[in-house]
Chain A
Amino acid sequence: MISARDITKTFNAGKPNEFTAVSEVTLAIDFHRVTILKGPSGSGKTTLLGIVGCMSRPTSGRIFLGEREITSLPERFLTDIRRRTFGFIFQQFNLIKGLTVLDNVMTPAYPTSERFPSLRKRALETLALFNLEHKADAKVEWLSGGEAQRTAIARSLINNPSIIIADEPTAHLDTKLSHEFMAIMRRLKGEGKTIILSSHDPIVYDSDLADSVVEMRDGRIVSSGPRP
């Protein structure tokens, strides 16, 4: 279980533009389940995902990954946890332009010491899961929206993480591609992955895939529980 206890995140503290994105949030996310953070833009979903995924630290409060308290870990350890435990799918995909699909997928594994032939083989196998093996040598800027999304998913899986975090994954997809994305998530859930999605798209939060839906507004949780 991932536990967030009394999490508050304030940006630009002490400055005139001080802004609290997340305020006193307490949350429990079960492993091997799909949790959806729902709420309008600016409700604090992305900030909370970033904190849960070890991308940033809360201003106050604590995060537990299983039994381990991770909030106070040094940067190096946080990076290591982020690389091994989490796979991120960003709203803007955040693929690195100019590099090939294969290079993008392998990038998260570069700081590991895995031998190149083995890494390449795994990356190609991961691409094959999403029918992208024929695009391995294509530059990412040549991809369609759906292909870019699938490349981003393949990249998030290259280090075989146990938790997938996706921030507004369907924001740039049409209805058909959004359903395709949810189908992939279903497959990953079936493989035992923990999935945390943030979205204000009904295709996502009304999906029968969701085990738990957390609704946020103005940086606070207004409701949480199993999908109604």
Chain B
Amino acid sequence: MRDALERQRHILDFTIASLLRRKGKNGSLLAVYTLIIFILASVLFFTHALKREATEVLRETPEIIVQRTMTGRYQPIPLAYADRIRDIRGVITVQPRLWGYYYDGNFLANYTLVVPREDPPEPGKIDIGSGISRIREAYPGDIIGFTGHDGKPRNFSIRKILSDESQLISADLILISEADYRDFSGISADQATDLVLRVRNPKEYTTIAEKITRLLPDSRPIVRTEILRTYDAVFSWRSGLVIVIFSAAALAFVIFAWDKATGLSAEERREIGILKAVGWETSDVLQMKFWEGSAISLTAFLLGMILAYAHVFFASSFLFAPVLKGWSTLYPQFRLVPYVNFGHVAAIFFLTVVPYTVTTIVPSWRAATIDPDAVMR
């Protein structure tokens, strides 16, 4: 056992000395390899952590939302609908909501206006998300102006900046009083944007949604699971988009690695011949090549993973966050909660380290099976 270890140690020593000789070739290979692992791991870490975060946040989403539609288009919903829905068995509460979007042409940004149920600002005051504060350089106590539905400006005093805890949701948010919202948007006093319901039994969501549709044919109930599914699809689609783009990079890497790994140079062939001539067995040469491939791919794997982890969880994924997060110019600046799915780590490992190591052995095996006397000629 000890002899076998000593022998492996010798071969490993030789491998390290051998790797250090070709600093240029191995260094560039390591750099490209690390970059690809970094990109793949970043995408996986990021999308997974983002989906997880979104799921956590959306868990607070209402169980059923009821909108009103006219020939398929959204319309404000009369408050009288709330009373009729409240009478349906199984519905605990019905709350009207007031919310909408505002496009700020000066800053090319979309804001989300919401009238909060709890702790709403007093009329004339608003709370704003950190994204808006950043882009407009507006802070508590400042006056900020928006153009209302009638084209007339309205000024608001900023009460506070919303906390950074859930930037994904709140970066572009404006919390406003009900009176100000109705004045600003022009929505009449007997209407709301939509209604949110709480239902006693989750199994009854679909039944209640059907009852609402029968009772109010111009309404459109949306069940929470549908919302979660939509968000999931959106995030999956976006991450899929990035993965498709980076697949091209991964393919380039495969070609690069294949070329580097399979194309033994004349110098390397000669060295294998020398090693065999001086008494190395074919298996010794293959072990040496195995260690060589493993050293490069494991180093690249570890470096790529560490860099990706730092990029996603400490550096706010600055490289591709704009593609994956939101559609506004107000990209949230938030840090994701570190979360690593070991299935993904294993997938990257088996798709990169294992094939690369194998590709280094195959050509060496071919070279190592030739007669060593080739070096004498």
Contacts and interface: CB of A to CB of B under 8 A. Distances in A.
Interface in B98-149: none
B199 to A, nearest CB: 74
Contact of B372 (A55, A76, A111, A155): A55
Contacts of A56: 371-373
Interface stretch (B5-13, B176-184, B239-247): B5-13
B375 A108 contact: no
Given A56-B371, A96-B271, A113-B3, A155 B278 contact: yes
B376 A83 contact: no
A112 to B, nearest CB: 7
Contacts of A107: 14, 275, 278
A207 B371 CA distance: 32
Interface in A91-130: 91, 94, 96-99, 103, 107-116, 119
Given A56-B371, A107-B278, A111-B7, A97 B21 contact: yes
Contacts of A60: none
B373 A112 contact: no
Given A110-B14, A116-B9, A94 B277 contact: yes
Contacts of B203: none
A79 B373 contact: no
B84 to A, nearest CB: 85
A90 interface: yes
Contacts of A181: none
Interface stretch (B50-58, B67-75, B165-173, B279-287): B279-287
Given A97-B21, A99-B21, A103-B17, A83 B278 contact: yes
B152 interface: no
Given A91-B376, A99-B21, A110-B14, A115 B6 contact: yes
Which of A51, A76, A111, A119: most chain B Cβ within 10 A? A111
Contacts of B281: 75-76, 79, 111
A46 B279 contact: no
**Interface size class, chain A:** 35 or more
A167 interface: yes
Nearest to B282: A75
Contacts of A57: 371
A99 B275 CA distance: 13
Contact of B7 (A113, A159, A167): A113
B214 interface: no
Contact of B277 (A55, A84, A112, A114): A55
A50 interface: yes
A97 B276 CA distance: 16
Nearest to B9: A116
B274 interface: yes
A121 B282 CA distance: 27
A110 B11 contact: yes
Contacts of B14: 103, 107, 110
Given A46-B377, A55-B372, A108 B17 contact: no
Contacts of B376: 46, 49-50, 55, 90-91, 167
A186 interface: no
Interface string B1-31: 0111011011101100110111000000000
Given A96-B274, A110-B10, A90 B375 contact: yes
Nearest to B3: A113
Contacts of A112: 7, 10
A108 B21 contact: no
B10 A55 contact: no
Interface string B189-221: 000000000000000000000000000000000
A94 B3 CA distance: 28
A47 B374 CA distance: 10
Interface of A: 46-47, 49-51, 53, 55-57, 75-76, 79, 82-84, 88, 90-91, 94, 96-99, 103, 107-116, 119, 155, 159, 167
20 contacts: A49-B376, A51-B373, A55-B376, A56-B373, A94-B270, A94-B274, A94-B375, A96-B274, A97-B21, A98-B21, A98-B22, A99-B18, A99-B21, A108-B280, A110-B10, A110-B14, A111-B279, A113-B2, A113-B6, A159-B279
Given A88-B277, A110-B7, 4 more contacts: A56-B373, A110-B280, A112-B7, A159-B279
Q: 8 closest Cβ contacts across the A-B interface?
A: A83-B279, A98-B21, A113-B3, A50-B373, A55-B373, A110-B10, A108-B278, A56-B371
